[in-house]
Chains A and B, each alone.
Chain A
């Protein structure tokens, strides 16, 4: 049981480049989310999804796009990378309903130069 798998683990981008961070889960969870973690800031929600075909913005969505074509996958796209997007990105998934725990991937450390 792999849980939540994120790829790549590390990435360096040049300003203006685009890329997609991959997230896949094998637990048949309905809910999936993307967070970014910056030093001293805790985790902040970027985008989330309550099921295939349904996504919505979180706290810091600007500069990012998501889609959810399958239950398993929830990719995060950086449209035109900026140094301010240097961060560690975490994908999480959970069952639907209240009072369920979130399962996190190991993170993608992104540096934009």
Chain B
């Protein structure tokens, strides 16, 4: 079964607003990662949170991880038109690290200028 399942949301927000998306997973993980995909392009890594971390920030991104609920959230603050993309969470369960990522179905975010 596929691990990492975002709430299948399609968010449409105004520029300057915050965007929040969620991800749940089923088994133990080493870390959880978020990736962005612009239309027709490859995925770009945004942020990684380890299983022993609860919150992490990177610029306008804030990620939380609740291992007891097996869930994570990604918050993008002060959104910009350039944030329009699909966002995927991925979990790493591999014994040796980042070689077997399980992706969720993705959240499509549209930021209206």
| Total count of chain B residues near the partner, CB < 8 A | 28
Chain B residues near A96 (CB, 8 Å)?
Answer: 96-97
Q: How far is the CB of A3 from chain B (nearest CB, A)?
A: 9
- How many residue pairs at the A-B interface have CB separations less than 8 Å? 86
| Total count of chain A residues near the partner, CB < 8 A | 30
Chain A residues near B96 (CB, 8 Å)?
Answer: 50, 96-98
Residues of B near any A CB (own CB < 8 A) = 2, 4, 30-31, 33, 35, 40-45, 48, 50, 88, 90, 92, 96-106
Known contacts A98-B92, A98-B97, A104-B35; can you find 16 more A-B pairs with CB under 8 A?
A31-B99, A33-B99, A33-B101, A41-B2, A42-B4, A42-B88, A48-B100, A50-B96, A90-B42, A98-B96, A98-B98, A99-B48, A102-B43, A102-B98, A104-B42, A104-B43
